[in-house]
């Protein structure tokens, strides 16, 4: 039963990603990307990481709101432009990367079963890891995030002053 759900979610995720890549209208592209993220979160739940799927959906839900705002704003000018001139090499490279990666993964990685909702840490263990064990690396990441915010504000201030 879990295998059937996995295959349905995997097919839907890849299909939604494909539709997101080829669709010309930016708003529909954002909707397909949202669907892809939804199915990837479902795959995370199948792998037993429900909390991560929740956090992922929460963050990306907010992000897709921003994206849809931008997509609606860019809608008129973006439908006039689709793919650029290098789309044929891009397709060839994509097919090559896909075949190479799948071949490499089947040959190189040992197939181990993914436990469904088992052997996963509780929220207490996860919180201890975030705020105690991995506090320094995550703190560095948050500094990067603050620097991104500061850069965005700086660029906007320069734009306003010019």
Partner 1 sequence: MIITNVHFYIVGALLFSIGIYGILARQNSMDVISSVMLIFNAAVLNFIAGFSSDGRFALQGEIWVMCTASVAACMYVLMTMVVILVIVRTKSGGKLDDMHELEG
Cβ 141 to partner 1 shortest distance, Å: 5
Q: Which residue bears the tokens 């799927």?
A: 53
Is 135 one of the binding residues for partner 1 (CB under 8 A)? no
Nearest to 44 by CA among 53, 31, 55: 53
Is 36 one of the binding residues for partner 1 (CB under 8 A)? yes
Cβ 58 to partner 1 shortest distance, Å: 9
CB 3 within 8 Å of CB 30: no
Binding mask 137-156 for partner 1 (x = CB under 8 A): xx--xx-xx--xx--x--xx
Q: How far apart are CA 39 and CA 74, in angstroms?
A: 26
Q: How far apart are CA 74 and CA 82, in angstroms?
A: 13
- Residues, the chain, total? 162
Q: How far apart are CA 79 and CA 62, in angstroms?
A: 24
Binding mask 55-94 for partner 1 (x = CB under 8 A): xx--xx-xx--xx-xxxxxxxxxx--xxxx-xx-xxx-xx
Q: Residues touching partner 1: how many (CB under 8 A)? A: 90
Per CB under 8 A, the list member of 8, 54, 102, 131 interacting with partner 1 is 102
CB 75 within 8 Å of CB 25: yes
Is 17 one of the binding residues for partner 1 (CB under 8 A)? yes
Per CB under 8 A, the list member of 54, 101, 131, 132 interacting with partner 1 is 101
Q: How far apart are CA 87 and CA 103, in angstroms?
A: 24
Is 114 one of the binding residues for partner 1 (CB under 8 A)? yes
Q: Tokens in use for 15?
A: 């299909």
Cβ 21 to partner 1 shortest distance, Å: 5
Is 134 one of the binding residues for partner 1 (CB under 8 A)? yes
Per CB under 8 A, the list member of 8, 21, 28, 131 interacting with partner 1 is 21
């Amino acid at each position: 039963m879990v295998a059937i759900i996995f295959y349905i979610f995997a097919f839907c995720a890849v299909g939604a990603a494909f539709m997101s890549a080829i669709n010309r209208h930016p708003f529909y592209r954002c909707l397909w990307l949202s669907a892809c993220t939804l199915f990837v979160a479902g795959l995370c739940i199948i792998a037993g990481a429900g909390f991560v799927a929740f956090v992922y959906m929460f963050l990306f839900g907010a992000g897709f709101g921003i994206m849809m705002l931008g997509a609606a704003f860019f809608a008129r000018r973006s439908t006039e432009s689709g793919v650029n001139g290098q789309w044929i090499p891009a397709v060839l490279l994509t097919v090559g990367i896909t075949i190479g990666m799948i071949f490499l993964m089947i040959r190189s990685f040992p197939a181990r079963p993914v436990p469904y909702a088992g052997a996963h840490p509780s929220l207490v263990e996860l919180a201890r890891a975030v705020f105690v064990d991995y506090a320094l690396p995550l703190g560095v990441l948050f500094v990067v995030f603050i620097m991104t915010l500061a850069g965005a504000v700086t660029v906007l201030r320069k734009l306003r002053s010019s």
